[in-house]
Structure 1
Amino acid sequence: MLMMNEKIKAREVELTGLDGEDLGIMPRDEALALAKANKADLVCTSLFSSPPPCKLVSRGMAKQEAAKEKKGQKPASGPIKVKEFRLTVHIEEHDYDTKLSQMQRLLESGKAVQPIIRIQGKEGDAARKLLERLIHDLAGKGTKETGIQVSGKQATVKLLPV
């Protein structure tokens, strides 16, 4: 957050001039008067020291610099989005190709995919084979984060983008 002019509450500030020259420690009101006389803003550069270091900046430039700095920061890279794909062991070839191309597109755009195959009865081995085929077909686009997990009613694997 940008603290400037009257928003600075400290009694004294350590002031730096328009050209970077050190003007020393002075009362806040005196620093504000100096800023107004030079048609400048008094900007606090750090709130963590006493007295707070402040500098004189040409009027309006402080907000522009803060906006530029904020724009330059990368957005916080949070967790990768994971898209789930539900399949069955008895998937037809055309449907498999469609799901495969959707997964490839998502992996290329930087998202993780998680195919989930529903299992009924003794389809565990068939589900594992289908997941292995998917991993093989997506080898250039994604790598598996987890091994193939087969549990009760489903088999799944998580693929991360390369």
Structure 2
Amino acid sequence: MRVPEVRLVGPNGETVGIVPTPDALRLAQEADLDLVEIAPQGKPPVCKLMDYGKFKYENAQKAREARRNQTNVIIKEMKLRPKIDKHDYETKKGHVVRFLNAGDKVKITIMFRGREQHRPELGFRLLQQLADDVAELGFVESSPKQDGRNMIMVLGPHKKKADAKVEAKTAKEEKAAERAADEAAEKAERTAANAARPTSTPKVKRRSENLDPDIDL
């Protein structure tokens, strides 16, 4: 740190006061803790004595818990015509079933053309039929309402479906993080083992000269 002094906070949140930076570093070393700058914009900057490794771990745990509790639901859209034939209806319904099974919301849009705009009951009945057909998988989150030439209804998946999707995603992320941590630990162990291995001093081989005893030097 380049500042001459800091406003120091103790490991339990107690205010120590403004102290010279070298003194703050010395206190951190004596307590076997880290001096972490938590408010650099302060005058002087605010620093806290803490175990930075533990701090990062706890923050990661909180972030993981927050991801587990949030509901990240995607909205899909399905468009139908008021006078859709039975085969097309079954195909469209199959898509809606798949979306709801995946934990996604589905926006159903009935598109009216020409004289169909004067028969809104056709769209309403079709939306009601679809809602009834998929009632085991989802519920009507937004009731049918007219929006210009279209009629819109939103189906939401039952909560257990959405939760299952979020939990599966979180479990996948946690597994990947654990695998990365294991690989990093193995790499660190290999590095430490290589560093601890004694370095052999190369032997200097001296070449002896064979002198002929009969040769006069």
TM over 0.5: yes
> Which residue is 2:10 aligned to?
15
- The reply on whether 1:135 has 2:131 as its aligned counterpart is yes
Match of 1:99 among 92, 97, 108: 92
Q: How does 1:65-80 map to 2 (within 5 A)?
A: 65-74=58-67, 77=70, 80=73
Q: Is contact 2:75–2:107 with CA below 8 Å preserved after alignment?
A: yes
Considering Cα pairs closer than 8 Å and 6+ residues apart, tell me whether 1 or 2 has the greater RCO.
1
Residues 121 and 151 from structure 1, CA distance in 2 versus in 1: closer, same or farther, beyond 3 angstroms?
A: farther
Residues 152 and 53 from structure 1, CA distance in 2 versus in 1: closer, same or farther, beyond 3 angstroms?
A: closer
Aligned-residue sequence identity (percent) comes to 25
CA distance in 2 between partners of 1:9 and 1:142 (Å): 62
> Which residue is 1:156 aligned to?
152
Q: Which has the higher strand share?
A: 1
Alignment RMSD, CA only? 3.8
Gap runs ≥5 in structure 2:
159-217
Match of 1:32 among 5, 17, 25: 25
Match of 2:49 among 55, 62, 75: 55
SS of aligned partner of 1:32: helix
Q: Which has the larger radius of gyration?
A: 2
Gap runs ≥5 in structure 1:
1-5
Question: TM-score, with normalisation over the residues of structure 2?
Answer: 0.53
CA distance in 2 between partners of 1:110 and 1:137 (Å): 17
Q: Is contact 1:44–1:55 with CA below 8 Å preserved after alignment?
A: no
